[in-house]
Amino acid sequence: MAEATKWYDSHLAAYRNSACIRSEEEYRRWYRRSIEDPDSFWAEQARLFLSWDKEWDFVLRYDFDIAKIEWFGGGVINAAYNCLDRHMEERKDKTAYYWVGDSPEETRTVTYSELYSQVNRLAGLLKSKGVAKGDRVILYMPRIVELPIAMLACARIGAIHIVVFGGFSGKALSYRIQDCGARVIITTDLGYRAGKPVVYKENVAHALQSCPQLDTVIVLHRGGIKTSPSHPQEVDWHEAMAGPDIYVPPEPMDAEDPLFILYTSGPTGKPVGMVHTHGGYLLYAAMTTRLIFDVKEDEVFWCTSDIGWINGHTVGVYGTLLNGLTGVIHEGVHWYPGNDRYWEMIEQYRVNKLYTAPTVIRRLAQAGDAPIQKHDISSLNLLGTTGEVLNPEAWQWFYQSVGKSRCPLVDAYFQVETGGPILSMLPGVAPLKPGSCSLPFFGIDPVILDDTGEEARFPNQQGVLCIRKPWPGMVRTIYGDHELFIHTYFSQIPGIFFAADEAKKDEDGYFWIIGRVDNVIKVSGHRLGAPEIESALTLHPLVTEAAVVGYPRPIEGQGIYAFVAIQKDVPVSGYLKAELIRLVRDEIGPIANIDVIQWAPSLPKTRSGKILRNILDKIASGKFDDLGDTSAIADPSVIETLVRDRLAQSNG
């Protein structure tokens, strides 16, 4: 990979002339101050990046023992005001988003003033339906401009938005509605993916059957035909939003008031709602987007992540709009209607910064350079990736074929819990190391801990990534279950935030993420809890037990591998396998698509009944020669059978 890092020698000096942070010395100076004098550092940034109704009484108070974190206590702010109102004087006619539908023919350009008008109208509509500060509103929509409009309308009146990824099923949607106690949902009749309609309203109708507390359903009709109401209080978006412009005053929000809840895989097998607050999160979103991607006033920034994930929230919506940037929202996929779709859009909109996922990069790389050569993508001056480790071959291709060996490639380490990137290279600062997420962002105090809880003593010693001090963007609690929040993130090593990712730090202080240490599988960068999938499998009356692990896939990073035991004397069949795959998709959504089901006589357990997941993980990955210590297993023949069947499966 030494060839790729030649950029450091030939292009670093030129890039530094325009970068926000121009040298490694400057980065180190900023970083030391953020760690040694956080109050002064973050107060300065909060005044620079945000507009406050009232400044804070204190910058930071925290107690990790009880997971109590407060940033900018006593400060008063509003997210919608910061994203829109304060831009009206200088940027009202500036493009906020270029929107491109699943079909290339469906496009739209939206200015800041148009966003402002629509957000005020929807805020007024929500208030007329009784939505008030602190109420929860579910947003179940595809990647359309109306989704950030709905997010900001909620923020304007102090309601808490919960964006549910469109790939989740009606049952998954229902669980989230019930868990957060939402009374209002905003959705569409249709979305589109690769030329096929995705019927959102059908999933909402399914959820309504078990969510009687929902008293308002707002539906944006995209299909051209108005469907029959699925709820007595269904509201047509277009009809309700018609009429003259209105102004809804932004609700004054305390810096620690919740801004949104975003659900992710939890330790108990059920999704948990991560709560992010106004002041700290907004500052971190604005600052990380501005500095890590070094976006200039006149540039076009495209974050390809779905808005239903934390990247889409932090970078695609809040980071983009807080900084007054021009963003891109694309409803479709990169390979439809042709595998040059991304390059066509980059040429059309003169995109300067492209931030995408390793799964997308690997799929684009499969198509090779020919689709790129059909288009002028010379506007690109920075590339970014996040979500999972990018393998060296894909890194090299992205850097050379897309970035033409001149664009810095930033690898940002992100979690729902972190709120924004906590490890990432700043462009123009230091040499690239392909595969590394580089150095900690300002205020992040990371440490690698070994199995005993002690700090790693040697370079490249693997351990679990933990963070010693709070940062503004970090999650504040799990909605409705603060005790689970403490147990999950602060009980493993008292006084330290537990990130649950295995990592290492090299001799230059660069961080390298290796993978999860909990029962979470990352498929195409999306986190899925193994217990949640296992629970869905065991709903089938013929299944006695199931265990799910991740296994390496060349494109997706990880796939879902299920070991399933069924009742005795029941024959296995392709039909039963298809039934189980369909059951999981129905319970969770198409994103939870099982790649492999291996029938098991039983699961390998210790004598106390604990499933030996580390052994299953190695069997699924084909690492038969390195199963580790199997002395604790109650029945060794189970492993022998599983290995034999896995080998037969590979040879078949």
Four-point Cα dihedral 382, 97, 201, 309, nearest 10:
30
pLDDT for residue 290: 95
Q: Which of 467, 497, 527 lies at the terminal end of a domain, its last residue?
A: 497
Looking at 471, 497, 523, the residue that finishes a domain is: 497
Query: Dihedral of CA 311/314/320/323: which sign?
Result: negative
Which of the listed residues 497, 524, 559 is the one where a domain comes to its end? 497
DSSP letter at 69 equals E
- Specify the amino acid at residue 286: A
Same domain, 542 and 470: no
pLDDT at 10: 45
In a domain, 514, yes or no: no
Is 330 a domain residue?
A: yes
Question: 301 Cβ partners below 8 Å, 6+ apart?
Answer: 293, 295, 320, 325, 326, 327, 328, 351, 352, 353, 355
Closest listed residue to residue 550, CA positions, set 566, 583, 527, 572: 527
Contacts of 150 (CB under 8 A, 6+ apart): 122, 137, 139, 141, 161, 186
The verdict on 559 and 474 lying in the same domain is: no
Tokens of 566: 């069924």
Residues 476 and 598 in one domain: no
pLDDT at position 604, please?
82
- Is residue 532, in this structure, part of any structural domain at all? no
Of the candidates 638, 633, 562, 648, which has an alpha carbon nearest to the alpha carbon of residue 601? 638
- Alpha-helix residue ranges (DSSP H) falling in 512-621: 530-537, 574-587, 613-620
- Are residues 553 and 489 both part of a single domain? no
Residues 544, 490 share a domain:
no
CATH number at residue 87: 3.40.50.12780
pLDDT of residue 8: 40
- The pLDDT score that the predictor gives to residue 18 is 46
The CA–CA distances, whole Å, from 622 to 14, 388, 558, 648 equal: 47, 21, 14, 11
* Tally of CB atoms within 10 A around 651: 6
Cβ atoms of 606 and 614 closer than 8 Å: no
Does residue 479 fall inside a structural domain?
yes
Rounded to whole angstroms, how far apart are CA atoms 586 and 338? 29
Instruction: Convert 592-613 into a string of H (helix), E (strand) and C (coil).
Output: CCCCEEEECCCCCEECCCCECH
- Give which of 265, 271, 258 is closest to 178, Cα–Cα: 271
Please report the pLDDT score of residue 612 as a whole number: 75
- Hey, how many other C-beta atoms are within 10 angstroms of the C-beta on 215? 14
* Domain assignment of residue 624, yes or no: yes
Looking at the structure, do residues 226 and 298 belong to the same domain, yes or no? yes
Given the structure tokens 């109208």, which residue do they identify?
121
User: Which parts of the chain register pLDDT below 70?
Assistant: 1-20, 224-231, 267-269, 516, 518-520, 524-527, 606-610, 628-632, 634, 650-652
Domain count, the chain: 2
pLDDT digits (tens, 9 = 90+) for 324-382: 999 999 999 999 999 999 999 999 999 999 999 887 888 898 899 999 999 999 999 99
State the CATH number of the domain containing residue 562: 3.30.300.30
332 with 408, same domain?
yes
Q: Are 261 and 323 in the same domain? A: yes
For residue 506, the number of C-alpha atoms closer than 13 Å in the C-beta half-sphere is 12
Same domain, 486 and 542: no
Q: Are residues 615 and 493 in the same domain?
A: no
What pairs with residue 385 in β-bridges? 356, 411
Query: E strand or H helix at 86, and its extent?
Result: none
Q: Which domain holds residue 557?
A: 537-651
Spatial neighbors of 325 by CB under 8 A, at least 6 apart, are 289, 295, 297, 299, 301, 319
List the structure tokens of 251.
């609700």
Residue 464 sits in the same domain as residue 543 = no
Quick one: pLDDT at residue 16?
43
Query: At 203, phi and psi to the nearest 5?
Result: -65, -35
Is residue 595 located within the same domain as residue 467?
no
Q: Is residue 504 part of a domain?
A: no
Classify residue 170: in a domain, yes or no: yes
In a domain, 61, yes or no: yes
Helix 170-180 with 200-208: angle, nearest 10 deg = 50
How many Cβ atoms from other residues are within 10 Å of residue 76's Cβ? 18
Cα–Cα dist 500/364, whole Å? 30
